[in-house]
Amino acid sequence: MNINRCFGQIMKTVICASIVFIFHFSFFTSASAQKYACVNTDYVMRSIPDYASAQKRLDKYVADWQKELEDKMGELEGMRADYEQESYLLPDNLKKRRQEEIKEKEQEVKALQQQRFGAGGDLDKKRAELLKPIQDRVYSTIERIAHEKNYAFVFDKAGSATILFANKKYDISDDVLELLGYKPGATNAPQEEDKTKQKPKNPEMKEPGSRDKMPTPLGGMSRNKQ
């Protein structure tokens, strides 16, 4: 009785192992037959005049907001400097009032910083308004090509994607541009200004309480595959 039970358990184990082996073999065989492609979205975006124009408009908004914030920071630093020079002459009640005014100014600067450059702020809204529609067109075109050519996966070579080698014949970047109506390899985008004269794109602002000089914005484009 015990021998039969042990034999039954062994058979069940063998059958389960066989099923798992067959499943994995079938999966990897199927995966090896799938088609892959890659695309360089940075190259595609740079080749679209509308995108370059939209980015230029976004940079102008950022520069204006940066100037606005720097002016407020200048006012705050002036209030601090005046207070430090005069504080030893002030009675306690005036000291307290000046300290409260400085604190209110700090909160005002911090609120403006958050409004302009914080998550969901003016920069994010303008980026969604100006850039996202063009990005969506590009990604819809990539998806269309993937369906038409039966690609299982399309990898993006731009940004931080780790692709050590990509055969040119599997790069569909030019296909995307052609389907969008642009000539691959052509300088479709308008001439850019000297980058040494441009302000970067994404501000990384310090807290209003800091006395360091505020950094200039740094560039970057992100896609909401959102």
Residue (of 105, 58, 62, 60) closest to 215 by Cα position: 62
Q: Give the model confidence (pLDDT) of 59-89 as tens digits.
A: 999 999 999 999 999 999 999 999 999 988 8
**The pLDDT value given to residue 127:** 94
Q: Note whether residue 203 is domain-resident.
A: no
* pLDDT in the model for residue 160: 63
Q: Which two tokens stand for residue 11?
A: 């058979």
What was the pLDDT predicted at 6?
52
Q: Residues with Cβ < 8 Å from 67, sequence gap 6 or more? A: none
Q: What are phi and psi of 200, to 5 degrees?
A: -60, 175
| Mean pLDDT, residues 88-113 taken together | 94
The residue that leads in pLDDT, 6 or 183, is: 183
- Please report the pLDDT score of residue 218 as a whole number: 33
Q: Which residues of 17-55 are buried (b: 16+ CB within 10 A; e: fewer)?
A: eeeeeeeeeeeeeeeeeeeebbbbbebbbbbbebbbebb
> Does residue 167 lie within any of the structural domains?
yes
The string of pLDDT tens digits covering residues 1-49 is 455 555 455 555 544 454 445 545 444 444 455 688 888 888 899 899 9
Domain span holding position 3: 1-33
pLDDT of the residue at 31: 47
Only one residue has tokens 């358990």, namely 9
Clarify whether residues 39 and 28 are in a common domain. Answer: no
Q: For residue 91, which phi and psi values (nearest 5 degrees)?
A: -70, 165
My answer on whether 60 and 167 are in the same domain is yes
Whether 62 and 4 map to the same domain: the answer is no
Q: Are 180 and 138 in contact (CB under 8 A)?
A: yes
Same domain, 186 and 85: yes
For the chain, what is the domain count? 2
Please say whether the beta carbons of 204 and 218 come within 8 A.
Answer: yes
Residue 202 lies in a domain: no
